[in-house]
Amino acid sequence: MTIRTRFAPSPTGMLHVGNIRTALHNWLWAQAQGGEFWLRIDDTDAERSEERFVDAIRADLAWLGLTIAGEERQSARFALYEARFAALRDAGRVYPAYETAQELDLKRKIAAGRGLPPVYDRAALALSDAERASFEAAGVKPHWRFKLDHAAPIVWDDLIRGPQKFDAATMSDPVIRRADGSWLYMLPSAIDDAEMGITHVVRGEDHVSNTALQLQMFDAMGVAPPAFAHEALLVGSEGKLSKRLGSLGVAHFREVGIEPEAVRALLARIGTSLPVEPLVETQALVESFDFAKFGRAPARFDEAELTGLNAKIVHQLDFEHVADRLPAGMGAAEWSAVRPNLQTIAEAADWWGVIEGPIVAERDLADADFLAAAARAAESLDWAGDPWHALTAALKAETGRSGKALFLPLRRALTGREHGPDMKALLPLIGRERAIARLSPE
């Protein structure tokens, strides 16, 4: 059996960090099992679905490195839904209901006033043929509900949450189709999972009750359900569900210089017992992916943690990986020199400016003679070797300076900064002529 997972977003907006985590975990499980990861565009909502969001979803998955084996679109599968719907209707597992939204709301309020759960009372099942005909004659179109089987409990062994049990009698028969003929999420999703051969579904724990309902749909269609893994929801750094998380997506990450490797490394591990590590290659994430490592507590997403992780990722990236994003003329030696001081790749441009110049350097009057001596020493150095250590050794012998008093004025004059890359690597890149000019009296 080929392991097959899917990511099924609705193209009504951009993917956010919670969606991305779901997609990543489905992809990782498929990769770990030598299986396939599919994209399914759930675009049954014609009014809200937009093609630009479909394009954005594909682009985001590509940026994240989540390769797909194939793609399906629900809008191209309506004939399949109609056929399954007709079979379920003929088998008595779906039925028409004529209550208005206002009538259903009133029923819920009455139930709440009596201290009862807001479970649909199945009044539509008690309608006679004549009563249904009367509704139809009056132009009232029904919505359609799936009839749950109350005879046995709904049970399954969740890959994360363990054994699950629901009493169908305590649940409302779900509406699967609106009066205008459009589909709601539940039945088309179950049909697609069956028809696409989906073997595993990884999704948020807010779908647990949906899974209970869909398991009966799979059974009514006579098909085996996929295995389900319901993971804890993503929360903000403050430990609560955050509106901020709904606005964080690939566009934001790219804008602030976050690398896809950092996003993968963080989202693969938060909410598990495994440590978050700056892993550039996905293979280590694939090999360690294990539902048994997932916890039940909410997974906490912290942008500051992502930023720190991103820096550690950047420090590992080789020149070939970043060359097309560096300033023109910046080579492997320059990248190697400045890389340890970067938070993002874009910051390399700042250090390229320091190397190439011109720079603005503040000089302390007390250092004027010292820097003049440094300029003279720089002229006589062997620049083919290690000019930084040769320069500092000569100046220490001539002036008696050491430590911060020796190194800091030189760094300021040569780079315009008090901190930065190792000067042993940076000074040869600045070069003899520029270094002498920067050290010489103004």
261 and 280 Cβ atoms separated by less than 8 Å: yes
Residue 385, helix vs strand vs coil: coil
β 36-41/70-73 pair status: parallel
229 and 245 Cβ atoms separated by less than 8 Å: no
395 and 370 Cβ atoms separated by less than 8 Å: yes
CA nearest neighbour of 72 among 211, 215, 197: 197
β 143-146/70-73 pair status: unpaired
At residue 195, φ and ψ (nearest 5 deg) are -70, -30
CA nearest neighbour of 420 among 411, 410, 430: 411
Sign of the torsion angle spanned by Cα atoms 122, 125, 127, 132: positive
Cα–Cα dist 305/325, whole Å = 24
Residue 136 CA: distances (Å) to CA of 100, 126, 129, 140, 364? 14, 16, 11, 5, 91
Q: Which residues contact 219 (CB under 8 A, 6 or more apart)?
A: 149, 225
Cα–Cα dist 190/195, whole Å = 9
243 is in an annotated binding site: yes
Specify the amino acid at residue 345: I
CA nearest neighbour of 98 among 128, 55, 68: 128
Known binding residues are 243
Known binding residues for ATP are 243
